[in-house]
A and B are shown apart, each in its own frame.
Chain A
């Protein structure tokens, strides 16, 4: 293979002359993290609600939750991204007005967080449902027998345990979310993968640029893993294997 590696390329000036290429990678990383963080909040909030309503005893709520999960799980993420960016605004005129008048990056950011947030919420809902249903039936009954309302049973009995059980799958969903945020490049959002390809196109040093992005993704994945392991240890309930480790 005859490819001339040139790692110095990161310290070259970009064509517009006011930045170095390493700053492109860094700003790409910032957008990746920003999109992932906001989408994560949406996903966990919505996913918890949808997951919980699927464990209630009201058939129409369960059906609504199931439909939500099936809808977001069975359409490719990239198609969903296009739907949020190109199709939904056509049906919501005020949104379209805002998207065409504001800076493109805000419109892209909004579409990306909605798309990734709702997509991931369906997957988290599935984990939360499994978490609640893995608890012994007696816990719910004991709670009701003590005179707690249904909401109180969830708040004080079921959810505190269910969320601890959900932490490991939630970790892998978090890492999936960060990886999936790269799909936002298809609507022009200048996140990490977008920036590294752009850098490759300007400098023809594709492999240096992709190497940088690859390393950054690996570091993010490892960090997310560590953070969640720390959360898991902090929230562990002594005596339960769900707490993990000692």
Chain B
């Protein structure tokens, strides 16, 4: 059995399209996850008990079930939710690609929440008290004092989580979205060239993720705040 490089070269344009979707999904999910994750973290740390409990419940639920199952949930749930909102006759088709983006944002929010919570808790209480003493309200204290520092402290962890997210996006395969792996898998099955395609995908991920985590490690040394 020979290793046929021509198969890979010929399918590069299609794989590139899949790869672009992977990057788009990763970026959107990281940005959305970070936004909602930060809100969730603030809710978890809220002194208003019901809000804190609801946020904790959401985070623990998302963290105790597999991503594959979450993808299935939303794949079937999304059309019904959209139908409920728009009030249309029948569930509208949403498409695997869009379902995946929404699912990943909601799923990653739980993981980013835990990171941001640790970040917020790493800020000394005195700073919050000082902000209040200066007359800032909650949102100003959070926005100008706590979150910028929490975010800075957590940058390496946030980036590491994003690399994990980048790998996890390959799971959209289970709802037949065409990401990088999905594209490779479709060609692999069409041309019966599973070895070439899967090895190629593995090598690309390995090189990319290894380089990225090496960069994060370097960054970590540079951004470390000297106290």
Interface string of B207-225 (1 = CB under 8 A from A): 0111001000000000000
B206: which of A1, A75, A90, A183 is its contact (CB, 8 Å)? Answer: A75
Among B72, B73, B80, residue most surrounded by chain A Cβ atoms (within 10 Å) = B72
- Asked if B130 CB lies within 8 Å of chain A CBs, one says no
**Chain B residue with minimal CB distance to A183?**
B68
Cα–Cα, bound, A181→B108 (Å): 19
> In the assembled complex, which residues on chain B have CB atoms less than 8 Å from the CB atom of A175?
64
Q: Which B residues are within 8 Å of any A CB, using their own CB?
A: 1, 61, 64-69, 72-73, 76-77, 80-81, 83-84, 167-168, 170-171, 173-174, 181, 185, 194-195, 198-199, 201-202, 205-206, 208-210, 213
Interface hit among A10-18, A125-133, A161-169, A207-215: A207-215
A79 adjacent to B201 (CB under 8 Å): yes
A87 adjacent to B66 (CB under 8 Å): no
> In the assembled complex, which residues on chain B have CB atoms less than 8 Å from the CB atom of A197?
72
**Chain B residue with minimal CB distance to A182?**
B66
A86 adjacent to B72 (CB under 8 Å): no
Cα–Cα, bound, A2→B79 (Å): 11
Q: Could you count the A-B residue pairs with CB atoms below 8 Å apart for me: how many are there?
A: 107
B171 adjacent to A78 (CB under 8 Å): yes
B209 adjacent to A74 (CB under 8 Å): yes
> In the assembled complex, which residues on chain B have CB atoms less than 8 Å from the CB atom of A71?
206
Within A1-27, the residues touching B (CB, 8 Å) are 1-3
- CB of B174, distance to nearest CB on chain A (Å): 6
B69 adjacent to A210 (CB under 8 Å): yes
Within A221-243, the residues touching B (CB, 8 Å) are 221-222
- Asked if A186 CB lies within 8 Å of chain B CBs, one says yes
A193 adjacent to B72 (CB under 8 Å): yes
25 intermolecular pairs with C-beta atoms under 8 Å apart: A1-B83, A1-B84, A73-B213, A74-B167, A74-B209, A74-B210, A75-B167, A76-B170, A76-B171, A76-B181, A79-B181, A79-B201, A79-B202, A86-B195, A87-B195, A179-B65, A182-B68, A182-B69, A185-B174, A193-B66, A206-B72, A213-B69, A214-B73, A218-B61, A222-B64
8 further A-B pairs in the complex, CB-CB below 8 A; given A87-B195, A87-B198? A75-B167, A75-B202, A75-B209, A76-B168, A182-B66, A207-B76, A213-B65, A214-B69
> In the assembled complex, which residues on chain A have CB atoms less than 8 Å from the CB atom of B194?
82, 86-87, 90
A90 adjacent to B1 (CB under 8 Å): yes
**Chain B residue with minimal CB distance to A220?**
B64
- Asked if A68 CB lies within 8 Å of chain B CBs, one says no
B206 adjacent to A74 (CB under 8 Å): yes
A74: which of B66, B83, B213 is its contact (CB, 8 Å)? Answer: B213
A3 adjacent to B174 (CB under 8 Å): no
- Asked if A107 CB lies within 8 Å of chain B CBs, one says no
Interface string of A64-87 (1 = CB under 8 A from B): 000000110111111110110011
- CB of A243, distance to nearest CB on chain B (Å): 23
- Asked if A55 CB lies within 8 Å of chain B CBs, one says no
Cα–Cα, bound, A179→B174 (Å): 15
> In the assembled complex, which residues on chain B have CB atoms less than 8 Å from the CB atom of A1?
80-81, 83-84
Cα–Cα, bound, A75→B76 (Å): 29
B66: which of A73, A90, A217 is its contact (CB, 8 Å)? Answer: A217
> In the assembled complex, which residues on chain B have CB atoms less than 8 Å from the CB atom of A79?
170, 181, 198, 201-202, 205
**Chain A residue with minimal CB distance to B83?**
A1
B205 adjacent to A186 (CB under 8 Å): no
